[in-house]
Amino acid sequence: MNPNMIIVYDIADPKRLNKAAKIILDYGKRVQKSKYEVEVNDRLFDELKYRIEDIIKPAEDGVKYIPMCNKCKETIEIIGKGYIIKSNEEYYII
């Protein structure tokens, strides 16, 4: 996987949080408790957003989609625990 987006969230309700986590894992990998790296094209990104927007409550929850350009990915630095995901796994959405 060559991630092209980082997703982070702050979701107030544990049930909604678990649902959001499961949805995002359909598109990528968790790298921290509420931070994910995903690889999506425009169609998959629209689908992901729709699925997330269907379960969150905007007055209580927040989700940020942060695009990563190739130049940005080359400048990532990690101090302490952490890693950069560079697998070639394929993901199937069922």
Phi and psi at residue 56, in whole multiples of 5°?
-85, 165
**pLDDT band at residue 70 under the 50/70/90 scheme:** confident
Query: pTM for the full model?
Result: 0.77
pLDDT digits (tens, 9 = 90+) for 8-39: 999 999 999 999 999 999 999 999 899 999 99
CATH class held by domain 5-74: alpha beta
**pLDDT band at residue 83 under the 50/70/90 scheme:** low
Res. 77: pLDDT tops 70: no
Every domain of the chain and the residues it spans: 5-74
Q: Which pLDDT belongs to residue 84? A: 60
CB 63 within 8 A of CB 56: yes
Percent share of the chain, pLDDT over 90 = 63
Order of all β-strands in the sheet with 62-67: 28-32, 35-38, 5-10, 62-67
Query: In this structure, what token pair is assigned to residue 75?
Result: 């400048």
